[in-house]
Amino acid sequence: MAEQKLPAVPSGTSAEVERLYRSLCRIRRVEEEIVRLYPSDVIRSPVHLSIGQEAVSVGVIDGLNPDDVVAASYRSHAAYLAKGGDLKAMLAELYGRNTGCARGRGGSMHLIGPDCHLLGTSAVVGTHIPLAAGQALALKREGRGRGVVVFFGDGATEEGVFHESLNFAALHRLPLLFVCENNFYAIHSPLDARWATRRLCERVATYGIPAHQIADGDIFRIRDLTTEALALMRRGGGPTFLECHTYRWREHVGPAEDFEAGYRTRAEVRPWQENDQLDVLARLVAPPVRARIDREIALEIAEAVAFAEASPFPAAEELLAHVYAS
């Protein structure tokens, strides 16, 4: 592995770096446990893993206030956990159990965290973006300075509703941060087969929205740009757009690797693995502290798996609940 240049630690304390490391490591280890569990069939839904992409969610959400709102799509484990979602409830949801965050009805693609201000996630590409705009309009009218962040992939930028939402947010100066997790593929279709140019930020800027590209995955820059954007929004400055280059290490859906599928090569992932932000942060945390955090995460995951496995399935009479008007 090539030696990596460490980013400058942002002004602040080692506690901030430790917080980022804990959040990033927690998400990675949870999803690695999902990879381990998935072949056993205990998980009752498809899974879209964020392994390799976690720094975007962690960096952005670390720049938010607890009562700011997050909207995400189906690849949402990272956003859910970074925002403070209950791990036991998340794993129980993947297990299809009644104690899940959606009572076992939604599975991996339909997580929800009202206690931590995470809107229900959506499995249909782009559909959550206008919902986030509506939430931002509501918060602007509320007048308490709260903001909304919406995460989506590069494929969602090709949906008409993405552009409609950009225009609406700019027109009404909504407190909405658009975050594109650009991993260069829409399922198996590469970016250059879909976009006439890669100038996404330029296209967004035509709506009068400040647009920034983070091409190296630097978690500190992602966090700092988010903090600046939210400060602008809280002053009534309107939306901001971040294009965060990233790369998923696993297949589009499922726990395996897919570099033999023919649409990408293993060489593509190597630079991202060499610049893994989890490794970057690990080198900035004192070894005894890192070991303690790792132990605490392992214990939390074991307890959450045990909770999910011990939880009951929904009762049969629940099958038609919330389907028809009473």
Tens digit of pLDDT per residue, the chain (326 long)?
A: 333 344 444 444 689 999 999 999 999 999 999 999 999 999 989 999 999 999 999 999 999 999 999 999 999 999 999 999 999 999 999 999 999 999 999 999 999 999 999 999 999 999 999 999 999 999 999 999 999 999 999 999 999 999 999 999 999 999 999 999 999 999 999 999 999 999 999 999 999 999 999 999 999 999 999 999 999 999 999 999 999 999 999 999 999 999 999 999 999 999 999 999 999 999 999 999 999 999 999 999 999 999 999 999 999 988 888 888 87
User: What backbone phi and psi angles, to 5 degrees, belong to 179?
Assistant: -125, 110
Predicted pLDDT at 67: 98
Whether 318 and 103 have beta carbons less than 8 Å apart is answered as yes
Closest CA to 90 of 131, 23, 152, 43: 43
| Stated pTM of the model | 0.94
Predicted pLDDT at 322: 85
- CA–CA gap between residue 121 and residue 113 (Å, rounded): 9
CA 243 to chain centre: 13
User: What backbone phi and psi angles, to 5 degrees, belong to 14?
Assistant: -65, -25
Amino acid at 271: P
The three-class DSSP label of residue 319 is coil
Q: Identify the sign of the CA torsion 240, 192, 269, 76.
A: positive
Whether 179 and 152 have beta carbons less than 8 Å apart is answered as yes
148-153 sheet: strands from edge to edge: 69-71, 148-153, 176-182, 240-245, 211-214
Neighbours of 164 (CB within 10 A): 13
- CA–CA gap between residue 298 and residue 292 (Å, rounded): 10
The three-class DSSP label of residue 138 is helix
Amino acid at 20: L
Closest CA to 187 of 151, 159, 160, 156: 156
Whether 128 and 152 have beta carbons less than 8 Å apart is answered as yes
Whether 127 and 153 have beta carbons less than 8 Å apart is answered as no
Predicted pLDDT at 1: 31
The three-class DSSP label of residue 240 is strand
The three-class DSSP label of residue 256 is coil
Does the domain made of 44-312 have the CATH classification 3.40.47.10?
no
Q: Which residues 6+ apart lie within 8 Å of 30 measured at CB? A: 77, 81, 87, 90, 91, 301
| N-to-C CA span, the chain | 61
- CA–CA gap between residue 131 and residue 90 (Å, rounded): 22
Task: Report CA dihedral (315, 319, 325, 326) to the nearest 10 degrees.
Answer: -30
